[in-house]
Structure 1
Amino acid sequence: MTGELTARVGFKDTIPTAFGYIGIGIAFGIIGQSNHLSVLEIILMSLITYAGSAQFVIVSMAALHANILSIVLSVFLVNSRMILMSTVIAPYMKKESLLRNVWIGTLLTDETFALSMNKLNYTDHRLSYSWFNSANLTAYLTWFAASGIGGALGNLITNPEQFGLGFALVAMFIGLLYLQIITDKTIRLGIQLGVVGFVAVVMYLGLAVIPENILLLIAALLGCTFGVTLKHVLR
């Protein structure tokens, strides 16, 4: 990764992450096919919903014949973390038009957010619309293509759970967390590990009393607060 912020570099920076999209997208397509979605329905969901974790939730809840209100609410809660991520990105896009900001926010994902946070370490804390748009579009196109391929291959795998495909999304998040920790030199390693440990404890204890979708948002807010406090105390 370099300090350039052009569209070409945005595409290049996203390629390693795109391989993760390929694995997760194929896994989603296979799971969607095993739950009786057509290839067209899988592709349309990836194009319109475009949210890996939320798409897994939709498929699993639809298979259990959950009502539409429950599905919509669950998807909102799962994706509510994007509100927090967008507020972090917004200051770096304040010179861009409202339309451009909406477009960047629409295609923002966990992966492109993490990628942009890593990019800040090389650009003197600057981001550009060209770089971000290129990264988002590369991820978007890779995701829907991979999920379509997974849907087409779905008939060949009747029991995707036996291959652990449901864990693919978790594995990718672990990889992104690792990359964020090793590349961000502005925050001490001890502080980063402390925040990770704090969030892990909150999630572990909270799962006993709070629905996981709501707990995810609570843990994110508490983790941010704990991290900022720890940074000021130990600076």
Structure 2
Amino acid sequence: MESVMNSQKNKHNTVFMSALKQALPIVLGYLPVGFAYGVLARKAGLSIDNTVIMSLIVFAGSAQFIAVGLLASGASALSVIITTFIVNLRHLLMSAALSPYLKKWSRPELAAFTFQLTDESFAVHSTRFSNGDTSKSETYLINCIAHAAWVGGTVLGIFSSTLITDVKPMGLDYALPAMFIALLIFQIKDRSHVAVGLITGLLSTALALGGAGQWNVIIATLIGATLGAAISWTRD
């Protein structure tokens, strides 16, 4: 009996360490960005409770920053809801991309998974699932670790908000790009991925310099994704 219990304990420890290792790039990004959100939310007048609750139940960095900005400008609740809903429509595409791997999951399991699905965890899970690793326990652990890091960063930002007047000089805005670069590296499998990534990045920069505004990312992504798909079809 004792040997069985030790075996189970070792298995759980292995799963946890594997999940922690995969979630580490996300954690390193979420802590500083969550920190920045906590500071900005308090500066915008949100209460401590509402600031933490938003990170617990919304758990969407871009939506939370937008919501804080809108609330600070005096926007109505309806405007905040509609704007953040539009911003998060990309989750439909992410969920659709992962759905073929989740056909055997029950509805409560899918609800629990999608509640904590973010851009960053999508990048991790899409790689895992495509490699045949669809372990539910490890999937949930990765999501929970990432979520805990976001909430933890938020709490640190709240308690530091009285000491920090402006987060911009701290360079926290680079945390998200750095995190995505790390996640992108993990997904590179051959030279074509490198080529598509470089072309997309250069195109996005060119469009931004050409006056495309925030549309540069979306346009470059669509062109890059189309190019990647064309290369894949040519090989097949």
TM-score by length of 2: 0.79
Change in 2 beyond 3 A, CA 1:105/1:204: farther
Q: CA offsets per residue over residues 162-200 of structure 1, 9 Å max, x none?
A: 32334433443343334433xx34954323433444555
Aligned to 1:157: 164
Correspondence 1:146 to 2:153: yes
Q: CA offsets per residue over residues 78-119 of structure 1, 9 Å max, x none?
A: 211111111111111111112211211111111211122343
Q: Counterparts of 1:1-235 in structure 2 under 5 Å? A: 6=15, 8-120=17-129, 124-181=131-188, 184-185=189-190, 188-198=193-203, 207-208=212-213, 212=214, 220-221=221-222, 223-233=224-234
Change in 2 beyond 3 A, CA 1:13/1:172: closer
| Distance of 1:138 and 1:17 partners within structure 2 | 9
Say which SS state the counterpart of residue 155 (structure 1) adopts: coil
Note the C-alpha offset of 1:207. Answer: 3.3
State the one-letter code of the partner of 2:136.
Y
Change in 2 beyond 3 A, CA 1:56/1:156: same
State the one-letter code of the partner of 2:98.
I
Q: CA offsets per residue over residues 185-235 of structure 1, 9 Å max, x none?
A: 495432343344455556666835xxx4x8766665554334212322366
Note the C-alpha offset of 1:133. Answer: 0.8
| Distance of 1:113 and 1:41 partners within structure 2 | 26
Aligned 8 A contact 1:7 1:133 in 2 = no
Note the C-alpha offset of 1:147. Answer: 0.3
Q: CA offsets per residue over residues 120-178 of structure 1, 9 Å max, x none?
A: 57xx3332221111111111122112201111111000122232334433443343334
Aligned 8 A contact 2:25 2:183 in 1 = no
Q: Which runs of 5+ in 1 are unaligned?
A: none
Say which SS state the counterpart of residue 30 (structure 1) adopts: helix
Aligned 8 A contact 1:195 1:223 in 2 = yes
Instruction: Flag the structure with larger Rg.
Output: 2
| Distance of 1:12 and 1:40 partners within structure 2 | 31
Change in 2 beyond 3 A, CA 1:14/1:167: closer
TM-score by length of 1: 0.79
